[in-house]
Each structure stands twice: as C-alpha cells, then as structure tokens.
Amino acid sequence: MQKRLSIEKYNFTLYNDITSIIFNEESIKNKIISELNTKDFIFINSKTISERVRVSDFLKANNFDMRLLIKFRINELISADLSTLPIEDQIYLKIIVIINNNDEKDYIFDDVLSYLSEDRKKIIFKTIFDKNLKYYNFTSDIEEVIYSNYLIVLSKDGVAIEGSVKSVLAEEKLLKRLGFSLPVIYDLSLQLKSYGLIDKPYVDVRKLVNDLWK
C-alpha cells in the first residue's frame, strides 16, 4: 500500500486506504492527531453546536444545498432550534455540512462516529466515497472497524498491531491484553465456524447471513 503520512516516534503510518485506528488511551490518540494536523485533512470531532438558530438558517448560512434534505434525511429537523437538538442530530448536521462543501480533502474522524446511527454512518460514508475521498477513523469503539479495510491498534506507546481488519482481529489474545474485545458479528461468526456452520469469520452481518442461507 502507498504511504500517506508517517510519524516515526509512534511507529504510526497512515496508508492510502480506509482505516480505523482504535485506542483505549486518550493521550496517545491526542498526541498522534496533533501530529497529523496538516492541510491534507479535514478534522471532525464531537464538539457540538452552541448556536441558537433554526436548523434551516444554519444550513443556508453554511451553503448547504437544500435540495439534499431528503437525501440526508433531515427534512424533519429544519424547523428545530439547533442548540436544543440531541447530540446525535447536532453532530450529524455538522458532518453533512462539512462533507457537502468539501470536494478535495480526506477526513480524520476523532472518536465521533459512535454518536451516529448505522443508517447515518452509511449515508456519510457513501457521500464521501461518491466524491472519491477517504476517511481515517480514530475510535474507541471496536465495532466501527467493520467500515474499514485496514486496522491500526494503539497502545500507550504507539502502534501495537496493524494490518487488514481480519488479520488484526485474528490476534484475539493480543487484543484482549490491550483491553479490546472482538466485534460482536466477528465473534459470533467465529462461534458459528467452530460448529461447522460457516467456513470463515465475517465482520459484515449481511455476508454472514448470506453464507448461513446458502
């Protein structure tokens, strides 16, 4: 894989691939993200929006194409006061405004996607992919690795293990020592495999179901 950016002191390299970076130590994540603060990325965190303004006015002020309300499934929110919305709605609105206005830079998600529903994540990812852009997801939720091709696991000193998602998840003992459990679907598929019901583990529930119904 082509290298995208490297930080030698943490043995950390971003490759030109959709990547999840999981962590238990907030401090090492923050140190690495501070080193990544380049002009190549748009950084998105979980900071909420404090503006007391209607959602429709917020969207217009940020040059959001109002014809996309149905696509992003936010037409029911436009008359609400932005600051009174639940954190999930605020973060989702912030993200879609950013990705609507960006056609050039890739994204760094800073432990923010766990606030969103699966449907909203899929809308965001599809919009990013449709623009031929990529994202790198720092997350404390191992369930989110299913949306990536490459996985980096951080310890307190830097990178503990990395590789394709399945190759890293196969290192169950190491992951447990680092304080991570396996994603639910992957763990379930391992159990089904042990009973001979499937031939290989899955991270995608749809592929797992399709295999079971063959």
Three-class SS of 91-104: HHHHHHHHHHHCCC
Q: Where are the domains of the chain?
A: 3-180, 183-214
Q: Which two tokens stand for residue 152?
A: 């980096």
**Residue 36 pLDDT:** 87
- Is residue 2 pLDDT above 80, yes or no? yes
CATH class of the structural domain 3-180: alpha beta
Summarize pLDDT for 155-194 with one digit per residue, the tens: 988 999 999 999 999 999 999 999 999 999 899 988 988 8
Distance CA 40, CA 129 (A): 17
Summarize the confidence of residues 9-20 as an average pLDDT.
92
Integer CA distances (angstroms), 199 to 58, 121, 151, 166, 187, in order: 50, 29, 23, 14, 14
Over 80: is that where the pLDDT of 68 sits?
yes
pTM of model > 0.85: yes
* Whole-number percent of the chain with pLDDT over 70: 100
Mean pLDDT for the stretch of residues 68-84 = 92
